[in-house]
């Protein structure tokens, strides 16, 4: 069941109550998050600037539903490198609360399991847990497809906490794009962590909806059989994309890290997708119009990259 929970001037929050999801699952809907999700061609500084407007909304919603009453010196951000850098959670925390949020870091990346489709494992290459409190309330910003990265990251977090004889009291996960499959995996992690600490609480804040994860374990679609969407967000998708592109847009976010740190690569990858889908029979005129708009804007950005300082 999806029901309205918070309504503010710059965002709304819906509560999701489903047996297979984390106990505290919320959807955050805002113009700021939609400006990213419905413009998957945007990259580089423009994307970063838009995300800087979303992070304070995540922090505000998390404060309302999860962090009120939590001691400030027990809060920490767990940054999953490199994509988590571009969620700007510490910046959002500073903007909302005027405080510097301590940070821990984990260098982590997914690797496809050889011989499978859509299955991944995650490997970590660097860690720094110097700022981890003994009674930690942890904030994470990350994109969640299969959830493999989160499984490994939380395992490393629990290990680091045990080494200082600490515990994880709260885990607040903020995701611009989270699949329904990934959210269900978080539920299993929540259950396991609660067995170790009965007072543990997990909170998931996902932007707009839970997406349909494609068999490749990477692409997340707006409209699909596994999508979990408030009616308001579904109507917005149909208004922006139409039913065809709503189902066929390759991914709501594409490769988040690439978009933020290597915009030219993303522009070229998106143009390949655009040419392929425009050559096919799938799209109606609304969908074609949106793809052509994105093509035009990308070509203008590519031209601007050829300039000199």
Domain membership flag for residue 223: no
**pLDDT exceeds 80 at position 222:** yes
Domain membership flag for residue 138: yes
Domain ranges, residue 256 = 231-305
Q: Nearest Cα to 256, choosing from 176, 168, 196?
A: 176
Domain membership flag for residue 219: no
Q: From CA 288, how far away is CA 14, in angstroms rounded?
A: 31
| 18 & 140 share domain | yes
State whether the Cα torsion 50-51-52-56 is positive or negative.
positive
Residue 1's pLDDT is 86
pLDDT tens for residues 24-65? 999 999 999 999 999 999 999 999 999 999 999 999 999 999
| 91 & 179 share domain | yes
Residue 34's pLDDT is 97
What mean pLDDT comes out for the span 84-112? 90
Looking at 152, 185, 213, the residue that finishes a domain is: 213
| 203 & 273 share domain | no
pLDDT tens for residues 138-185? 999 999 999 988 988 999 999 999 999 999 999 999 999 999 999 999
pLDDT tens for residues 246-273? 999 999 999 998 999 999 999 999 999 9
| 25 & 130 share domain | yes
> Count of domains in the chain?
2
| 63 & 182 share domain | yes
Maximum separation of any 2 CA atoms in the chain, in Å: 60
| 197 & 169 share domain | yes
Coil, helix or strand for 53? helix
**pLDDT exceeds 80 at position 134:** yes
Q: From CA 201, how far away is CA 172, in angstroms rounded?
A: 9
Q: What is the mean pLDDT of the chain?
A: 93
| 50 & 104 share domain | yes
Domain membership flag for residue 127: yes
Residue 148's pLDDT is 86
Task: Supply angle C-alpha 83, 73, 29, rounded to 5.
Answer: 45
**pLDDT exceeds 70 at position 192:** yes
What mean pLDDT comes out for the span 73-92? 94
User: DSSP states of 9-52 as a string?
Assistant: SS-EEEEE--TTS-SEEEEEE-HHHHHHHT-TT--HHHHHHHHH
Residue 118's pLDDT is 54
How many helices (H) and strands (E) would you count in the chain? Answer: 9, 12
Calculated CA dihedral for residues 72, 209, 194, 218, nearest 10 degrees: -110
Residue 80's pLDDT is 93
| 49 & 124 share domain | yes
| 205 & 255 share domain | no
Domain membership flag for residue 249: yes
**pLDDT exceeds 90 at position 7:** yes
| 114 & 260 share domain | no
158: domain CATH number is 3.40.50.2020
- With cut-offs at 50, 70 and 90, classify the pLDDT of residue 113: low
Domain membership flag for residue 184: yes
| 173 & 260 share domain | no
| 134 & 252 share domain | no
Q: Give backbone dihedrals phi and psi of 299, rounded to 5 degrees, phi first.
A: -60, -35
Check if the beta carbon of residue 247 is closer than 8 Å to that of residue 222: yes
Looking at 165, 183, 213, the residue that finishes a domain is: 213
**pLDDT exceeds 90 at position 216:** no
**% of residues, the chain, pLDDT over 70:** 96
Check if the beta carbon of residue 177 is closer than 8 Å to that of residue 143: yes
Q: From CA 177, how far away is CA 295, in angstroms rounded?
A: 22
Q: From CA 48, how far away is CA 158, in angstroms rounded?
A: 30
- With cut-offs at 50, 70 and 90, classify the pLDDT of residue 120: low
Residue 82's pLDDT is 78
Looking at 186, 213, 240, the residue that finishes a domain is: 213
Q: From CA 22, how far away is CA 308, in angstroms rounded?
A: 49
**pLDDT exceeds 60 at position 114:** no
């Amino acid at each position: 069941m999806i029901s309205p929970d918070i309504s503010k001037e710059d965002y709304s929050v819906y509560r999701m109550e489903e047996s297979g999801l984390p106990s505290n699952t919320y959807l955050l809907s805002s113009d700021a998050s939609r400006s990213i999700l419905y413009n998957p061609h945007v990259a580089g500084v423009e994307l970063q600037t838009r995300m800087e407007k979303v992070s304070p909304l995540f922090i505000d919603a998390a404060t309302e539903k999860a962090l009120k009453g939590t001691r400030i010196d027990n809060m920490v951000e767990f940054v999953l490198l490199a994509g988590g850098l571009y969620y700007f959670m510490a910046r959002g925390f500073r903007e909302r609360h005027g405080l510097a949020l301590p940070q821990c870091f984990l260098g982590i990346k997914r690797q496809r399991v050889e011989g499978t489709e859509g299955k991944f494992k995650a490997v970590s290459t660097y860690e720094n847990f110097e700022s981890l409190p003994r009674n930690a309330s942890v904030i994470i910003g990350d994109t969640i497809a299969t959830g493999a990265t989160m499984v490994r990251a939380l395992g490393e977090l629990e290990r680091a906490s045990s080494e200082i004889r600490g515990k994880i009291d709260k885990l607040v996960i903020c995701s611009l794009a989270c699949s329904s499959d990934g959210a269900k995996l978080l539920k299993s992690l929540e259950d396991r962590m609660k067995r170790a600490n009965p007072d543990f609480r997990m909170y998931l804040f996902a932007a707009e909806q839970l997406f349909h994860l494609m068999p490749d374990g990477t692409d997340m679609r707006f409209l699909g059989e596994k999508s979990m969407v408030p009616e308001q967000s579904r109507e917005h998708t149909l208004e922006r994309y139409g039913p065809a592109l709503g189902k066929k847009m390759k991914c709501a976010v594409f490769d988040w890290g690439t978009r933020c740190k290597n915009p030219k690569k993303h522009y070229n990858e998106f143009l390949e997708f655009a040419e392929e889908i425009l050559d096919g029979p799938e799209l109606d005129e609304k969908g074609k119009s949106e793809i052509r708009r994105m093509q035009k804007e990308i070509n203008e950005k590519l031209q601007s990259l050829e300039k000199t300082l």
